[in-house]
Amino acid sequence: MTQQRTTRDNIIKICIVGISAFGLFLCIAVLFPQVRQMIIAAMHKELDMSLGIYKLLQSLAMGGICFTLFLNYCILTASGKKLTHTVKQEIKDCFSEIDFRSLHKPVLLLFGVYLLGILTIIRANVLYMDDIGRSVDGFREWHNWSRYVSEFASIFIHADTNLTDISPLPQLLAVLMLSISSVLLVYIIGNRKITTVPLLASIPLGLSPYFLECFAFKFDAPYMALSILASIIPFLFVTRKKAFFFCSVIALLIMCMSYQAASGIYLLIAIILCFLDWNSRKKPDKETLSLLGIAAFAFCFAMILFRFFLMKSVSVTNHGYAATSMHPLSGMISGILVNIKNYAMTINSDFGVIWKISIVLICILFVFKSIYTSSRKKIFVFFISILVICLSFIISYGVYYLLPIPVYYPRFLYGFGAFLSILCIYVVLDYKKIAIVAVFVLNWCFLTFAFSYGNALADQERYAEFRIGLLWHDLSSLYPAQHNDTMIRIQLENSIDYAPTIRNISKHYPIIEKLIPKRLGANFYWDFHHFLIHYNNIQYQIVNDTNANFASLDLPVILDSYYHTIKGDENRVLVVLKH
């Protein structure tokens, strides 16, 4: 029996070595430029995509070599087998300590709250920016931004490689993942205790104004929510160092490949947990620092893996989106400081007065509670708690500080919602009435704003469709169907302004103008797509070339109405949209 087992093990080892050798051969072959060119040619990619794929293939080959060597170390060596067994056992031990049945009702409660919060968004049924193109063309293309998890998960969710509009299913999946995320966040911060008040206090995680934009995306919403869930899950294993490190690296890679805007949430939770342990003296300072060090190392290790082996380079001109290049080393500190300043100014300009007062009050309560519950010197705790708040706020923006030209779209800032959620959970854990009132006011403001946002989306859509309908009618009358295949080139000036509903909300909540894009904006690609493809017209061509300025041609006015002016000749049209 022993001899048979030895023979079987030897055969398995030979197979593993053979497969690994073949895999290494393929990866090394891909490192040669000629092989990569052959692969690109076989994929029939466009030239502008080839450079990105060329570099990505090189990175994947290098990553494949490293992964193969590590896998062989874990399977074939004694120390590797021991490490694998230890991590596996620690993960099992952590799971055995969790009472999953106690999480069912809290998840259902949060699911109901989040679903109520986005009810008007679902009812509005608006194709939000990228949704227009995805619904018409069925493309995915998340891989352009290195979001490979989103790329492949969408095939499973939509049951096809060609995407179709299956809303509200993606949004419901996002609600489910956010509900689980909120419950786990309360479970982790509340020392494995879950009660109703902290659960309700956690709703800024999903109903902050910044994540509301994520809910507006019919196709992207579940992957944005997944990035939050992936950032929280590793802390279920925080009591076992090896399991915590392993799960952190895997979860952080999933986060990076779903939506990178959540990159600050993991470190944010790590800092808060270490502060709470330090402040309460539940663990020796050495152990607390060890946890922070492991979290920081796991984060850096995962970011390095993603940066060098998985991330696809994007230039700043591509799609008008954020570039992947970072600050040069000589200007790193000054660049990060500028980005921190811009981040703070953006949030300050986005939020209303009541929101800001509530947030300041919650921060003050965080400091007071830290001092009241601490067994350390009060003055020392006072300054450390303020430092933790400031550091947590900064980290909530994640790795975007490293970019020379970061973007501040609302969906890139939902780490701030996680920051608020953690503060709210902590200050209500002892059920002090003033803390509950302050958190309730903020959360009630976010909930009512969510209702306003969904209704405003619907109002703006109706107003825009009315304006677009009038424009289509006038254009089709002035330029009826062509039979000589002549393409009518149209250039837009200005955009369809906001409906009165949005202007009313913006008086106190300026962020609404960022959450609702103007339609037919002169610099917004998807509105051009909507203008042509969504309305099933192949006769017109939108001109978005800044070098071709139709306004300078002094075209004759052929129609002037209350909503727009149309100037043109036989095949060139300038549409001046009026506010």
**201-256 tens-digit pLDDT:** 999 999 999 999 999 999 999 999 999 999 999 999 998 999 999 999 999 999 99
The pLDDT of residue 524 is 60
In this predicted structure, the answer to whether residue 488 has a pLDDT above a threshold of 70 is yes
Both structure tokens of 170: 């993606």
Mean pLDDT throughout 530-557? 73
**85-97 tens-digit pLDDT:** 888 898 898 888 8
The pLDDT mean for the chain works out to 85
Q: Mean pLDDT lowest for which of 76-80, 453-457, 475-479? A: 76-80
Rounded to 5 degrees, what are φ and ψ at 406? -75, 165
Both structure tokens of 488: 């009518």
Q: Is the bond preceding 168 in cis, omega lying within 30 degrees of 0? A: yes
State CA 185 to chain mean position distance: 18
- Distances 529 to 217, 355, 519, 571 between C-alpha atoms, Å: 17, 37, 11, 19
Q: Of 444, 468, 455, which Cα lies nearest the Cα of 501?
A: 455
**273-300 tens-digit pLDDT:** 999 999 988 888 889 999 999 999 999 9
The pLDDT of residue 546 is 58
Pairing, β 488-493 against β 564-568: unpaired
Across the strands, what pairs with 490?
542, 573
Q: Which residue bears the tokens 């992964």? A: 67
Pairing, β 488-493 against β 540-542: parallel
- Distances 219 to 131, 166, 224 between C-alpha atoms, Å: 6, 8, 10
**397-425 tens-digit pLDDT:** 999 998 888 889 999 999 999 999 999 99
Both structure tokens of 147: 């979001």
d(Cα 443, Cα 150) in Å, to the nearest integer?
A: 30
How many CB atoms sit inside 10 A of residue 519's CB?
Answer: 22
C-alpha radius of gyration, the chain, whole number: 27
Q: Which residue bears the tokens 């009038």? A: 470
The pLDDT of residue 554 is 84
Pairing, β 557-560 against β 572-577: unpaired
The pLDDT of residue 52 is 53
- pTM score of the predicted model: 0.90
At residue 382, what is the residue type? F
